[in-house]
């Protein structure tokens, strides 16, 4: 018991850290906050296995996690180009998206927050962040590397596609997002590709 007296007595936590400790801060959920994957450990393990399998592929080129999605889009775009159906492909995409676009438009109208048009098209949908691995977010603006170049170049060497990045952007990607903006009651300004294949989407007004 003598060891617990005087200067040998353990100090309180707040004395050690120099800041007070509240009961709230010491709750388990705050000391070890949830990851959002509780109860989904098996799903997470499978996703990680798929990730590792994909990025391990180095031939004929290093694969990124969006590889299969890029190829699926390229296949559809090339099919439509070969048959003169690119406008129909874009129109079909917009028609398919109408239930989601109408719901998002209602949220924008209710809140008056046009930034939601960007949030819904870039942050809140796997259609973007599974395709584009990194996006720079700024108020009223989103900037990212157009993702097709590496896969497109590799596939063109095999004779699979004759598309160009510019063609994909101008004939497929831009028209789709202009349609989305119109359906949401906003206007987007979409840049051309720069020398690093980077594009920017901005809210107008």
Q: How do residues 108-134 score in pLDDT, each as one tens digit?
A: 999 999 999 999 999 988 889 889 989
The verdict on residue 14 lying in a domain is no
- Is residue 44, in this structure, part of any structural domain at all? no
Q: What is the mean pLDDT of residues 144-165?
A: 94
As a whole-number percent, the residues of the chain with pLDDT over 90 amount to 63
- Relative to beta strand 198-203, strand 135-138 is unpaired
Look at residue 4 and tell me whether its pLDDT is greater than 70: no
- Using one digit for the tens of pLDDT, what is the confidence trace for 161-203? 999 999 999 999 999 999 999 999 999 999 999 999 999 999 9
Model confidence at 48, in pLDDT bands (50, 70, 90)? Answer: confident
Say what the pLDDT of residue 3 is.
41
Alpha-helical regions (H) of 137-205: 149-157, 165-168, 174-184
What pLDDT band is residue 88 in, cutting at 50, 70 and 90? very high
Residue 165 domain flag: yes
In a domain, 158, yes or no: yes
Helices (H), 57-148: 67-82, 86-111, 115-118, 126-129
Residue 198 inside a domain? The answer is yes
Q: Copy the structure tokens of residue 26.
A: 């010491």
**Mean pLDDT, the chain, integer:** 86
Q: Is the pLDDT of residue 62 over 80?
A: no
In the chain the first and final C-alpha atoms are separated, in Å, by: 73
Average pLDDT over residues 53-66: 80
Label residue 79 by pLDDT band (50, 70, 90). Answer: very high
For the chain, what is the domain count? 1
Domain limits at 144? 60-203
Backbone torsions φ then ψ of 146, nearest 5 degrees: -60, 125
CA–CA separation, 133 vs 144, rounded Å?
Answer: 9
Q: Residue 133 is part of a domain; what is its CATH number?
A: 3.30.1380
Q: Is 80 part of a structural domain of the chain?
A: yes
In a domain, residue 51? The reply is no
Whether 158 has a pLDDT exceeding 50, the answer reads yes
Q: Residue 122 falls within a domain, yes or no?
A: yes
Element (H, E) at 141: strand 141-145
pLDDT of residue 31: 66
Question: Which strand (E) or helix (H) includes residue 49?
Answer: helix 41-56
| Reported pTM | 0.77
Give the strands of the sheet with 188-190, arranged side by side: 135-138, 141-145, 198-203, 188-190
Q: Which two tokens stand for residue 2?
A: 């003598």
């Amino acid at each position: 018991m003598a060891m617990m007296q005087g200067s040998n007595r353990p100090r309180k936590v707040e004395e050690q850290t120099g800041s007070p400790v509240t009961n709230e801060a010491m709750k388990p959920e705050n000391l070890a906050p949830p990851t959002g994957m509780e109860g989904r450990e098996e799903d997470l393990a499978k996703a990680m296995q798929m990730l590792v399998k994909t990025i391990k592929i180095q031939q004929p080129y290093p694969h990124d996690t969006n590889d299969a999605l890029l190829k699926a889009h390229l296949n559809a775009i090339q099919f439509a180009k070969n048959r003169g159906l690119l406008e129909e492909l874009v129109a079909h995409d917009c028609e398919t998206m109408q239930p989601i676009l109408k719901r998002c438009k209602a949220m924008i109208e209710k809140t008056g927050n046009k930034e939601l048009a960007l949030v819904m098209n870039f942050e809140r949908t796997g259609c973007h962040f599974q395709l584009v691995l990194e996006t720079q977010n700024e108020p009223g603006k989103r900037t990212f590397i157009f993702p097709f170049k590496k896969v497109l170049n590799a596939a063109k060497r095999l004779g699979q596609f004759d598309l160009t990045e510019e063609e994909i952007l101008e004939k497929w990607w831009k028209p789709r997002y202009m349609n989305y903006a119109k359906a949401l009651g906003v206007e987007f300004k979409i840049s051309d590709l720069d020398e690093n294949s980077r594009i920017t989407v901005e809210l107008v007004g």
